[in-house]
Structure formats: C-alpha cells, structure tokens
Amino acid sequence: MSKIICSAAIRGAHKIVDMAEEKYEEALKKYGPEQEVSFPNTAYFLPIIYSMLGAKVQKLGDMKEIFQECRKLLPPPVSDSMWLPYLAPALDAGMATLFAEEMYEAIRYIDEPNFYTKTEDPPSDDQIWLGAADDIIFRKRGVEFVDGTAPGFAAILGTPPDPEMAAKIALELQEKNLYIFMHDQTDGVSMPDQLKKQNVQMGWSTRLVPFGPTYTSAVFALGFACRVALAFGGIKPGDYKGNLIYNKDRTFAFVMAFGPVSDEWYANAAGAINWGFPTISDWDIPEILPTGICTYEHVVSKVPHEEIVQKAIEVRGLKVTVSKVDVPVAYGPAFEGERVRKDDLYLECGGGRTIGVELLISREMDEVQDGLVTVEGPEMTDVEPGAKLPFAILVEVAGRQMQSDFEPILERQFHHLINYAQGIMHIGQRNIMWLRVGKSAIEKGFKFEHIGKILHAKLHQDFGAILDKVQVKIFTEEEKVKEILELAKQVYAARDERLGSMTDESEDVFYSCTLCQSFAPTHVCVITPERVGMCGAYNWLDGKASYEINPTGPNQPIQKGECIDENLGQWTGVNEFVKQASRGKVERVSAYSLMVDPMTACGCFECIATMLPMCNGIMIVNRDYLGMTPSGMKFSTLAGMVGGGQVTPGFLGVSKHYICSRKFMKAEGGLKRVVWMPKMLKEELRDRLQQRAEEEGVPDLLDMIADEEVGTTEDEVLKFLQEKGHPALKMDSAV
C-alpha cells in the first residue's frame, strides 16, 4: 500500500473527524442530547453506522459513543520514522471518516433542513442537491441492484473541466446501466454544473443523482449500498463482514475522481475500499496496483477522460452486456425515466391528443416476415415541430413456442423498450398509450421506423426462446389507425375475459418466483391466478411465460396438489415446493391468510397489510404514503418487519392488485376486514374496490374504511368504525 496515499488518507481522516466532532459539540450545546437525528424518511437510522456497528443513532446524544469509536479507529499520523503495514490503518481511517461524515450530514439536516431538496428529481436549476434517498426512492431503485437492472454505481468526486466531456462521461455511464452519484466540486465547479450547461436531465429517473456539493455527501452513496445489503440481502445490522463482502461481490461500484485529490478525498477513497470499491482518477497521484481488498487494483490514476469509463469498469471487474440496437440515439434503461417536456417537444401521438393504440398478436409462421418494418403514413421527418399524429403499432410474431397467453406479456414490454431510447417518452399501454418525441431525437435522425427496429431487436433478444419471427407495422394515417383500433378492442376483450375467468380452483399449476432469493435466501413467492406477486410485476401468465422462456429460471411451475385448507389457501404440493425451495426454512404457506403461515417477502412489495387488534381489522399501507399509520409505525419501519424472507404472522407484503382479489385475506374475512388505508390508495383502487364491495353485499364499505384524514391512531380509527357500523366489528376475532 502506497505510503503517500495512506499518509494522506490518515491525515484526511483526522481532519474530518475533528471537523465533525466540532460540529457535534456545537449542535449539542444548541439542541441538547435528546434532539432527534435521522436522514428523513429512512428506516435504517444512519445506515453505514447501523450496518457496521449495529448502533441505532436516533438522538444527538447517541453520537458520543460513535465518535469514541472513530477515535479508536484513527491511527496516528504517518511520520518518516514510522514504518507500518499501511493497509489496515488506512482502511480503519477510511471507516472512521465515513462514520464521522454520516453524523456530520445528519446534523446538517437539523441545522439546515432545506439544504437538500429531499425529492426524486431536482425541482429547479437552482435546487439540484437531493441528499439521502428516502425509503420510497430506495425501495424503487434499490431492487434494481437486486435484479441486475443496475449492476452498480459510479461515485463521482469533482468534475472534468469541459462540460461536453462531463456530459459524454455521464452518457457513457448511463449506457452501461450504472447509476451516477455526484459529489463535491473541482475548482468551484461541480459535475451537475457541467451537465446543466449541456441541458442534461438529472435525478433518480435518469440515474444522474446529484447527492451533495461537498465530499461529506459521499456517505449517501456508501449508505445506499449498505441499505441494499440490509433490505434485500438478509444482512443483519452489525454484521460488518457480511455487509462488506456482500457489496464487494454484488454491488459493482467505484469512485471516479476528477482533478487534484485532497487529503479528505483520499480518506473517503480509503473508506470505499473497505467495500471493495476502487478509485479511478484523471490526476497524477500514486497508484495502488496490487490486488487485495478490491477485486483488482485499488487506485488507478492518470486515466484520460476518453478512456476513464472503460478503465473503471475493467478495474471493478464489472461485466457489462449492453445490447446494441440500430438507432441514431443512445439506448438503455437509464433513459426510461426521461421526460420530453413542452419546450423540447417535436411530435406527439395518442394520450388523448390523437388516436393511439398498440397491439401484439401471434400469427402462423408463414404469415410473418422476420425483420420487416413498415411505416404507412407521414414519417417524423414529414411534419413540422409541434405536430400531432394518429398512431398505431401492430407487432405480429410467430414462434414454435409462442402461445396466445403470451401476447399481453410481450405487448407490455413496449413501454420500457421504447422508453429506453433517449429523447423518446412513452406512457400507458393498449389504446391509452402516449408517445412524445423530443427535438434532440429528431436532430439525430430518429424516425418511426426506429421504433420498429427497437421492438424487433429487443423482442428477439429478450424472448428468443419463444419467438422465431417478428414484424412491425406502424400507421400514422387516421383511417388505418381506426382500423387497427377496432381489431385491438376485439383482442383486448378476449384477453380480459380469459384473465378474468381464471381462478385458483380452475388451475392445477401455480408458479413460483425466487428472483430475489439470492438476497433473501428463505423467500419464495407463490403466484396464483388470483394472487399476483407482491411486487405487482408478475401475474400467473407472466410466470407461465417466464418458465417457457427460461425453464431453469426463477419462475417454476408448482403442482398445487391436494387441498389442505380451502379457507387458508394451503395445498400439499405448494407446501412441499416451498419447503424445498426455502431449504427447509419455511414449511407451510397460506395463500389467503395474514395470521396463519403468511407468505414471506423479499422487500419489493407494493403494500403492507397488518392487524389492528383493537379494531378487529386489517390496515393496508402503500409505500408511497409517508405518514404515520394506526399501527404506530410508518411504512419504512413496517418494511423492516416483513422483508428479508421473514415469516411474521400479522404482517404481510401484498400487491395492489391482490387487494381487489376475491381471495384477499379470505381466511380473515376478506375485504370486509379492511378498516384503514391511505386515501391515495383508496382512490387509486376505488373502481375495483367498489365492485368487490358490492359483490360482498356491502356497497357502502369504502365509506366505512378510515384513512389518514379520519385518524392515524387506533383509537381514532375505532371511533370512526363504530360510528359507521363497520362489519369488522361484528366479525369473529382475527387474533
């Protein structure tokens, strides 16, 4: 380990701990030891400290012991007469640095509550620094590090001096599907400053995340990695070894430093090395080339800007596979959240502005010409800026393994596959789809035909096991669009009838989902026709299609076997499968019960259901609701009790779709047992819930279900239920 680097890292660590402790003493005098501290709306306290030490820093007074731990970790400054093996002391100094910075940032939230926007995307050009990701953002984005959608992140310190090069580096990282976490400045200029000059959209939706204007905000990046291990990896708080190894093996992150490297930057880099995250710099600094903690080199320097992304990926050992699609714009998942705003709008179709429809249907092999892409009607280049065109996409596929049940599954892929193109925005599906094309995409030569090329290439790449041929027809003439619309309505109606008629009793086979099992080893999701996966992303047909596509993948058929208990939803075959797939950790699963053998969860659930004993009912809270619930816990706290493959009677992760199922909590009395849910969730599901309430013979049930406007304590909810005469009060006790 280089003596120069270790000396600088240890010096920097001393400076940072001194600075943070001084800030702490000032805060202690000003606010007192009982002052609450946290990163807003997060479940894991100060996550680096919590994951490494198991310490819950909830009040200012709790920080005293952590600063004592920092002082224990800090080695003495390196001197000419002092010769030591430098690796361990430097890594300890780096860990002390991160502990101190995390406390420093927590105090900043008290001193300057509006310093960070606390939003998903910057609200304006003047307010760009987002701060720590709250639990809504974390749950939505963190799962991408689980399923491989995002292999890792680049933690950027400073910025290249040239705005065009900064934008080029950011784009190249986006194309590799990485998140880009931005911190600090070089000569008073930050990476977001440079990107703004190039009109680059920033925020979680584009994976360009401006965390903070100082090096101390680097803890938000490392803390995010720690939270992934805690939430999705089954790592326990205080298991520092497990957390470090998990992130080294699974989170492919690295530090990218631009410009002169200060002692403080060295200290943060030493901290990152603990997790196996190397540093790649454009500056002339000493290198640490031997392997050891990191997969390959620890510090690599003097890397030209044109080569720095590729070098970083090589040093981290990340194997990135990016499918090349023949389109004139950048293409990849990083652009899925991009918005085409009014000022940049060149063309739009559908969305209520014009007729718009998209449809995928299967044909016989001789009816499809593979690779055929046709456009009938005006092309994008034939219209003026601001134009509105009718629009229809008809994708016809053929394959020896293709089935009509797969059509809606493949059709749903249009949304993200089209959105992956930079400068293109796609919203909705079926005949409520909406397409917007930006001026920048037109300037680069994007046309309707490129949408066809995208769908042809990606459907083959993603569904090659069931597809042999794909042809795409695009229509922008109104009469032809109306013709496709009529065909689509007939197809949609037939599909809905097929899906709507399926019941758990009508099918002998269910499907498993163990996609997240490497991160929650005991979790097995059982998907039935009437119980969608708790993430809301997988239904029974999706499981069937996935098995056809990948017979050894995470979605396996489950022969449900003999019924053990119809009310609970237990079957011999399901229990046998779950016991085997959970390696004996879970022996029984009830598909329809909250209290008896409830299903495990990995952490990706849309909602959480739990009992309110005083009310003899069930409350449901969705992850978008930030407030307190009558259970006395917020969603983030409840999530910690449900995720990680735990079996916790009385707590259950559920999807929004399942709430409207006839099998929802059947063992506890179903929908009539629900007594509280956030207003936003009730309104979102109102039509389907009303239909179910009428089926249950309680047409005014929705008006009897309390929300946060009624109260957020169990006493307040109970009073409301008594006034309304809620049926749950007359039901047998569920606990």
Complete domains list, the chain, with CATH: 3-111 (1.10.8.190), 135-316 (3.40.50.2030), 333-497 (3.30.1650.10), 509-730 (3.40.1470.10)
Axis-axis angle for helices 63-73, 3-31 (nearest 10): 160
Find the mean pLDDT for residues 86-103.
Answer: 93
pLDDT band at 549 (very low <50, low <70, confident <90, very high): confident
Q: Does the pLDDT value for residue 718 go beyond 90?
A: yes
Find the mean pLDDT for residues 125-142.
Answer: 92
Q: What is the DSSP string of 86-148?
A: -HHHHHHHHHHHHHHHHHHHHHHHHH-TTSS--SSS-SSSS-----S--HHHHHHHHTHHHHS
Find the mean pLDDT for residues 179-190.
Answer: 97
pLDDT band at 5 (very low <50, low <70, confident <90, very high): confident
Cβ atoms of residues 115 and 108 within 8 Å: yes
pLDDT band at 31 (very low <50, low <70, confident <90, very high): very high
pLDDT digits (tens, 9 = 90+) for 269-294: 999 999 999 999 999 999 888 777 99
Find the mean pLDDT for residues 622-637.
Answer: 92
Find the mean pLDDT for residues 390-419.
Answer: 89
% residues pLDDT > 70 (the chain): 97
321 vs 513, more confident: 513
pTM score, whole prediction? 0.74
Find the mean pLDDT for residues 420-438.
Answer: 90
Q: Does the pLDDT value for residue 555 go beyond 80?
A: yes
The confidence score (pLDDT) of residue 642 equals: 86
Torsion on CA atoms 472, 476, 479, 484, rounded to nearest 10: 30
Parallel, antiparallel or unpaired: strands 153-157 and 509-513: unpaired
d(CA 113, CA 110): 6
| Beta-bridge partner residues of 361 | 396
Amino acid found at 28:
L
The confidence score (pLDDT) of residue 1 equals: 47
SS3 20: helix
The confidence score (pLDDT) of residue 143 equals: 83
d(CA 169, CA 310): 10
Q: Does the pLDDT value for residue 95 go beyond 50?
A: yes
516 vs 407, more confident: 407
For residue 304, how many other CB atoms are within 10 A of its CB?
8
544 vs 164, more confident: 164
